[in-house]
Amino acid sequence: MSRDPNLPATVEVFDTTLRDGAQTEGISYSLEDKLRIAQKLDELGVTFIEGGWPGSNPKDAAFFDAARTRTWKTAKIVAFGATRRANIAPADDPSVQALVAAGTEVCCIFGKSSVMQVEEVLRTTLDENLRMIEETVAYLRSQGKRVIYDAEHFFDAFDANSDYALKTLAAAQEGGAETLTLCDTNGGHLPWQVEQTVAAVRARFGPSQRIGMHTHDDTGCAVANTIAGVRVGAAHVQGTINGYGERCGNANLCIVVPNLELKLGVRALPEGALARLHDTARFVAEVANLSPNEHMAYVGRSAFAHKAGVHVSAMLRHPDAYQHIDPKKVGNEMRVVVSELSGRANLVSKAENFGFDGLDPKTGAKVVEDIKALENEGFSFEAAEASVALLVRRRSADYAPPFKLIDYRVMVSRHDEKRFAEATIKLQVEADEVHTAASGDGPVHAFDRALRKALEPHFPTVRGIHLADYKVRILNTGAGTAAITRVLIDWANADTRWSTVGAGTNILEATWLALADGYEFGLTGVPAKTPASV
């Protein structure tokens, strides 16, 4: 890849997951959460970690107290705040003093760029706003701080009154700000508009002044707008892991960074750090207590998943046939999904992952037909790869399942406000007929306990098999209570995870199918090299 010589060789990555990202609806970080995420970001190699606004709440102040006691390998911890209030000296403004007290080498402050914001929101004069910006930056510089200036609402302000918007940047520059960050605070601009504005700022301030980008995703263009800014001279990008942020979110660094490094040849992280991106994205989602976006570019579990048979067949011939990069570059992996849309190539690839080398073409064709027939009944094998492995095993002439169902019965009752569930099950286990019963908190719980009770005397390893998750989805909702139910169960033992599926109009029958597959897969020998996605 040839790199555009007009692009910067490197950009600074300014992560605001702990501040802007915390404004996501549904996210509430504890102090320990913030410290854990900051540690992970430092390991990733970002340039700056914005820890929060020390003057706004006790938790953020406590974060900076704790951060001062830790060693940071690559990142500078940044305290965020605002310019001084109107008609108050910076030394007398509690919010500015909180920035000083945070003890960070770097501060990031925001100020107003818009005439409307100054007059209608701050309710002060345009000249006083310019003094607020310059004096606050200069004061922080006098206290030994490096200052990054965030020009709030800059793109809207430039559209309305470019002369005044540029004056606010000049005030920050006069005060000694090292970076002038242009903020699309309302997230309403498009890439070509951003390019024009950033180019105008670059022409006004020259190549020696570092320009930054801070964009929001209200038009779905935050990543594209950030890249557009870099193309015309910005060398500092702000964003969050997974695109977390208020409203529609901020520029997603999990997409911005690999686009810069892999598509534009611009260094954003230390050498080799990009391969930690996938792990970082999932870690932050886990700490934030949010489900990862599995379809996210670069780092989503489905980012390099291949389902169409034609695609997989081509991929087996050349790994670049349907992938724009090697997923290992961002720490991800290629996956083959088996479904009713699959061809034999999908199954061959999946079978090899499970240790079934040289799958017979006739057997493969039969299993594909099995999958298509079952998916027509409501099954879905995309996330239930252990059930796929069992379909292959059961087509082998010498395969004998460890147990077979003879009969089951589940009873649920309610008496004097108390609920009771009991399941009985009859299995053929090797040469024995086993009949057991168990109670539980509900019918599924009782069913699982009865099955486990029947199997443990013959297969002690059952004790190490655990249900990690149980999901139910109603498919044809228009059928009401007669709708098809799909059950997906995630399993785990000491070192492996796998998933199984069942479906049917009877939720207990669907549950039985998923439970039986889960125990059968675990008992018949999980392959030594099971894909991490299972």
- pTM of model > 0.85: no
346 is a domain residue: yes
Average pLDDT over residues 13-20: 97
Q: Is residue 4 part of a domain?
A: no
Q: Is 225 exposed, middle or buried (0-12, 13-18, 19+ CB in 10 A)?
A: buried
Answer yes or no: is 531 within a domain: no
Are 469 and 408 part of one and the same domain? yes
Number of domains in the chain: 3
Residue-range definition of the domain harbouring residue 264: 12-287
Name the residue with higher pLDDT: 312 or 2.
2
Residue 341 pLDDT > 50, yes or no?
no
Q: What is the pLDDT of residue 312?
A: 45
Q: Is residue 415 part of a domain?
A: yes
Residues comprising the chain, all counted = 534
Domain match, 365 and 435 both: no
Where is pLDDT greater, at 291 or 422? 422
The reported pLDDT for the residue numbered 324 is: 86
* Amino acid (1-letter code) at residue 480: G
The answer to whether 168 and 200 are in contact (CB under 8 A) is no
Do 80 and 163 reside in the same domain of the chain?
A: yes
Burial profile 376-410: b = 16 or more Cβ within 10 angstroms, e = fewer: eebbbbbbbbbbbbbbbbebeeeeeeebeeeebeb
Is residue 387 one of the residues assigned to a domain? Answer: yes
Contact 338, 382 (CB under 8 A): yes
**181 or 480, which is more confident:** 181
| Residue 160 is assigned to a structural domain of this protein | yes
**Structure letter (DSSP) for residue 184:** E
Question: Within this chain, do residues 311 and 250 fall inside the same structural domain, yes or no?
Answer: no
Q: Which of 365, 391, 417 is the last residue of a domain?
A: 391
pLDDT of residue 356: 53
pLDDT for the residue 344: 47
pLDDT at 249: 97
Res 534 pLDDT > 70: no
135 domain residue, yes or no? yes
**445-467 tens-digit pLDDT:** 998 999 999 999 999 999 999 88
**Tens digit of pLDDT for each residue in 302-340?**
787 766 444 445 545 556 666 788 899 999 887 666 544
Task: Output the domain CATH number for residue 493.
Answer: 3.30.160.270
pLDDT, tens digit, 9 for 90 and up, residues 173-213:
999 999 999 999 999 999 999 999 999 999 999 999 999 99
Please tell me the predicted confidence (pLDDT) of residue 508: 86
> Domain check: are 379 and 420 in the same one?
no
- Are both 259 and 364 inside the same structural domain? no
Q: Which of 253, 287, 321 is the last residue of a domain?
A: 287
Quick one: average pLDDT of 248-262? 98
Assess whether 149 and 66 both reside in one domain. yes
Q: Do residues 351 and 495 share a domain?
A: no
Instruction: Judge if 480 and 508 occupy the same domain.
Output: yes
- What integer pLDDT is reported at residue 315 of this predicted model? 47
Is the pLDDT score of 34 beyond 60?
yes
Which one has a higher pLDDT value, 267 or 319?
Answer: 267
**Whether residue 279 sits in one domain with residue 350:** no
Q: Which residue has the higher pLDDT, 316 or 66?
A: 66
Please classify residue 470 by burial: count the beta carbons closer than 10 Å to its beta carbon, then call 0-12 exposed, 13-18 middle and 19+ buried.
middle
What is the chain's mean pLDDT, rounded?
A: 87
If asked whether residues 410 and 362 sit together in one domain, one would say no
Q: Domain of 145: which CATH number? A: 3.20.20.70
Phi, psi dihedrals of residue 387, rounded to the nearest 5°:
-65, -35
- The confidence band for 2, taking pLDDT boundaries of 50, 70 and 90, is low
Q: Are 186 and 233 within one domain? A: yes
pLDDT at 529 > cutoff 50? no
Question: Position 337: which residue type?
Answer: V
The residue ranking higher by pLDDT, 102 or 290, is 102
Q: Indicate whether 225 belongs to any domain.
A: yes
